[in-house]
Chain A
């Protein structure tokens, strides 16, 4: 049985770590006399950082090497770990060879938006931390010899949120596809629209749809791959508009986040709600694909469209 992960999808949009629940005041049955940790660290065994990885689903512990070789899929329960554009490009493109396109576009704080943190500061901090310029990267290369353009989101960057830069990269990627007669693949992983760009982020829904319309007129295939999680503005635009909509197993996909729905209807959500399998059952996906078969399947589909 799949363990239901309680997750606040929207909170990812702040680009901060998920807040700990330590603020929930619970009655304490013990009393701390001395503050801080006083145990000696002299005998502590040093373990190198990041050598082991625990599966959030089944708690299986594997080495990071093992995990990487298995394309970041839990060998025990097939849980698909969240990975970024770098990993997806390596998985899809032959010999991990590809060219990154439009990497010179960067987000900017046009509205001078400040919540708990200034937007520009947020952008700079995340850039410093992850070296990413925004939440989407576009790569062109070959999969099993078939040429394709892949636009992939990075959840690390403000929850993979859709802002002006994603909209622009998406548009240029479509133009590139049309100019080079290549199919367009988008791998979505996003909490939704980027609030710090306000209505500009909303307008990206129409901007990207307009480009898809042109791609469609050029009779080039558009394949949308939905991964965990895909919500809000993405599912309400190009995420659901693929000639084919495909998802990784167990991915949480929907329009409204589970927390919001739960608060609205005031009852618990059924098990498996908004998972890929649920969407497949309700007719919104063409099929679900394991990450290890993704490259082969994409190449096969591109071949079928082409020949």
Chain B
């Protein structure tokens, strides 16, 4: 987490900002007057933890969306550096170019070689532009697919980190077949012989997320969202105004708890109090435990069985009424 005063605070984190400022003042006066103010500082630290706990307990769906986009939140490369060793980043889709919004490469998870792939956001204005705000173009999805095939060839599991506000809606993206690129990935990921673990670490926006989001197990971090459209766009289309994003966020049932409840994701990964941005090490540690458990579980299956399980898993998703002669309701 960036040190104060570079720390950024969301609107509902303002009480913590005030505490930070108080602590800073106290630290400065302690230095100036050489008086021991440790007690006071410790009290403020406790208050900060209290506030973090308080925030965690009262998060609305929209606030979780905000947390998933927190400017200080750890991104894919951060998790890779904290969870894996020997990361070798690989570039390019072998067709058009290298998409900086999508990163990937081989790395080791406690000695085992894994292919890690994920969307990457920038941490300042310059890198945000470079990373295109985590919005991949078709070449990003094709790069991801190239790496997944490479993993399959050498029988290495794939782990993807999903964090995107969506696939990039640009002119060139359409020319190069954004739809086709995502469709191809979804199709190939369903068939890939090696284990695939998906982790939603931030924003899980629709096709852009799903383009690297099909696998044997999907883990969702506590303060993330995952659904078919961003709450803002949903509000603009269904309510015809940008102002209903909070309501849209509620209606879409996009939180980890909802998604786990529907059986659309397999596990919720806990985050540090108040969100992953409070402690990168703690967040990465918790995620590592979940990834290792999930991997151990799915590695057991024989490859063809794994693929058929995957097809069956997604095949069971959905709800409908089936009208039989006697009008019996069949809820799937």
Are the C-beta atoms of B238 and A202 separated by less than 8 Å?
no
Are the C-beta atoms of A233 and B207 separated by less than 8 Å?
yes
Are the C-beta atoms of B259 and A104 separated by less than 8 Å?
no
Give the residues in chain B near A284, CB-CB below 8 Å: 177, 180
Are the C-beta atoms of B171 and A265 separated by less than 8 Å?
yes
Interface code B175-194, partner A: CB below 8 Å = 1, 0 otherwise? 11111101110110111000
Are the C-beta atoms of A108 and B315 separated by less than 8 Å?
no
Identify whether the interface residues of B are mostly helix, strand, loop, or mixed: helix
A168 to B321, CA, bound (A): 11
A108 and chain B: residue at smallest CB distance:
B321
Give the residues in chain A near B311, CB-CB below 8 Å: 210-211, 213-214
CB distance from A104 to the nearest CB of B (A): 4
Interface code B309-332, partner A: CB below 8 Å = 1, 0 otherwise? 011101101111111100000001
CB distance from A236 to the nearest CB of B (A): 4
Question: Which has the most chain A C-beta neighbours within 10 Å: B167, B182, B183, B184?
Answer: B183
Give the residues in chain A near B322, CB-CB below 8 Å: 104-106
A27 to B281, CA, bound (A): 60
Are the C-beta atoms of A195 and B237 separated by less than 8 Å?
yes
A212 to B312, CA, bound (A): 13
Give the residues in chain B near A270, CB-CB below 8 Å: 171
Cβ contact of A205, chosen from B177, B210, B239, B262, cutoff 8 A: B210
For the complex, is A301 an interface residue (Cβ under 8 Å from B)?
A: no
Binds B, one of A32-40, A91-99, A252-260: A252-260
CB distance from A199 to the nearest CB of B (A): 5
A14-B237, A104-B323, A212-B187 given; A115·B214 CB < 8 A: no
Which of chain A's residues 253-287 have a Cβ closer than 8 Å to chain B?
Answer: 254-257, 260-261, 264-265, 269-270, 273-274, 282-284
Are the C-beta atoms of B320 and A202 separated by less than 8 Å?
no
A265 to B173, CA, bound (A): 11
CB distance from A80 to the nearest CB of B (A): 21
For the complex, is A164 an interface residue (Cβ under 8 Å from B)?
A: yes
Are the C-beta atoms of A209 and B190 separated by less than 8 Å?
yes
CB distance from B145 to the nearest CB of A (A): 13
Which of chain A's residues 131-163 have a Cβ closer than 8 Å to chain B?
Answer: 163
A203 to B214, CA, bound (A): 9
For the complex, is B13 an interface residue (Cβ under 8 Å from A)?
A: no
CB distance from B158 to the nearest CB of A (A): 15
Are the C-beta atoms of B320 and A210 separated by less than 8 Å?
no
Interface code B281-325, partner A: CB below 8 Å = 1, 0 otherwise? 000000000000000000000000000001110110111111110
Are the C-beta atoms of A204 and B207 separated by less than 8 Å?
no
Give the residues in chain B near A269, CB-CB below 8 Å: 171
B215 and chain A: residue at smallest CB distance:
A206
A209 to B253, CA, bound (A): 24
For the complex, is B226 an interface residue (Cβ under 8 Å from A)?
A: yes
A164-B319, A200-B318 given; A213·B187 CB < 8 A: yes
For the complex, is B229 an interface residue (Cβ under 8 Å from A)?
A: yes
A206 to B259, CA, bound (A): 16
A256 to B171, CA, bound (A): 9
Give the residues in chain B near A116, CB-CB below 8 Å: 238-240
For the complex, is A167 an interface residue (Cβ under 8 Å from B)?
A: yes
Are the C-beta atoms of A255 and B207 separated by less than 8 Å?
yes
A195-B238, A236-B207 given; A261·B320 CB < 8 A: no
Q: Which 9 A-B pairs have the closest CB atoms?
A: A164-B318, A235-B179, A256-B169, A210-B311, A115-B238, A255-B179, A255-B178, A206-B314, A110-B319
> A115-B238, A199-B226, A260-B169 are known contacts; what are 18 more A-B pairs with Cβ within 8 Å?
A107-B320, A110-B319, A164-B317, A195-B228, A195-B238, A199-B227, A202-B227, A205-B207, A205-B210, A209-B183, A209-B214, A210-B190, A210-B315, A211-B311, A236-B178, A254-B178, A255-B182, A256-B174
